[in-house]
Amino acid sequence: MKEVTQMQTRYEYGGDEFIFVQLSEAMSLEANFKGIAITRKLKEANLEGVYDICPSNASYMVRFDPDVIPPEELMARLQQIEREMEGLDDITITSRLVDVPVYFNDPWTHEALMRFRDRHQDPDSTDLEYSAKINGYDSSEAFIEAITSAPFLVSMIGFVPGLPWCFQMVPREKQIEVPKYVRPRTFTPERAFGFGGAFSVIYPVQGAGGYQLYGIAPAPIYQKDQTLFDFQESIVFPKQGDIFRYRSIGAEEYQAIREQVEDGSFVYHKKEIQFTPGEVLADLEGFAERALRRLYHD
């Protein structure tokens, strides 16, 4: 079933050096695909005076020098690019399919979440048990299967450096949604896998946090030292437009991957893919099946 979302773009100036563009009031794959296409086109244009392009879930922001490019000129150019992107069927997005192992119900995030039950909606359950229940699943295992059975689009990078916000590529009626903690934790382990609203995340570093915690990733998504192959060009691995498939692993594989990370031999399993937003929106489940087949079998 094709996902249909009413979108009306709002353009606003943010002081002297910023333009903010809201493509939709609600996050949707359609809005995010459009934002990816527009911001990539803007980057390719390499306009003099444009310093930063910051894409988000359903919006983007541009920082520019008004002494180099007049604000009204840049505004007009952004509107022109949007008009050129109207037909989602005509846009081709090149992306990466990435296998992202996750150790669900691991001892480290379990210890962390149990320390903060007084800040949770349901102090008598774990985050997995609570999330499974409010989403209509009979067990934590069935809930994990729902997470791992369909891929996620990396819709934006942010909050803290390298953190990927990921939106599952399933019909809206199958979207998993959970609230954040009533009060945030003061501790979250590095590489913890969590969920808040309709977004999954991997915490790049240890810190505070309020998302429900389900597990931990053995491989980093942020590496300051850039010793691993996947971090040679950037300290941040995820890119907006990536498609992550979270794969459930056990303690033995978790430890094996940690050893590869430590000795510098770990490389993410990934494949390049090209698609049009139109083909994805027309058949989300079919696209997910084809994407996973390409990742593991092609």
- Name the band, by pLDDT with cuts 50, 70 and 90, for residue 7: low
Closest of 269, 246, 288 to residue 148, by C-alpha: 246
7-11, 106-110, 153-157: range with lowest mean pLDDT:
7-11
pLDDT of residue 3: 45
Q: Are 114 and 187 in contact (CB under 8 A)?
A: no
Q: What angle do CA 25, 27, 28 make, to 5 degrees?
A: 120
Whole-angstrom Cα distance, residue 190 to residue 207?
Answer: 8
Over residues 28-77, the pLDDT tens digits come to 888 898 898 899 999 999 999 999 999 999 999 999 999 999 999 999 99
b/e burial code for range 227-239 (CB count within 10 A of at least 16 → b)? ebebbeeeebbbe
Average pLDDT over residues 259-283: 94
Over residues 111-160, the pLDDT tens digits come to 999 999 999 999 999 999 999 999 999 999 999 999 999 999 999 998 88
- Name the band, by pLDDT with cuts 50, 70 and 90, for residue 4: very low
CATH 3.40.50.720 is the classification of domain 10-87 = no
Q: Where are the domains of the chain?
A: 10-87, 94-296
Q: Per-residue pLDDT for 106 more than 90?
A: yes
pLDDT of residue 96: 97
pLDDT of residue 298: 73
pLDDT of residue 18: 97
Q: What angle do CA 107, 108, 110 make, to 5 degrees?
A: 65
Q: Which CATH architecture has domain 94-296?
A: Beta Barrel (2.40)
Q: Per-residue pLDDT for 6 more than 80?
A: no
- The percentage of residues in the chain with a pLDDT greater than 70, rounded to a whole number, is 97
Distance from the Cα of residue 182 to its chain's centroid: 23
Pairing of strands 93-104, 50-55: unpaired
* Arithmetic mean of pLDDT over the chain: 93
- Structure token pair of residue 77: 């150019």
The residues near 187 (Cβ < 8 Å, ≥ 6 apart) are: 112, 115, 116, 206, 207, 208
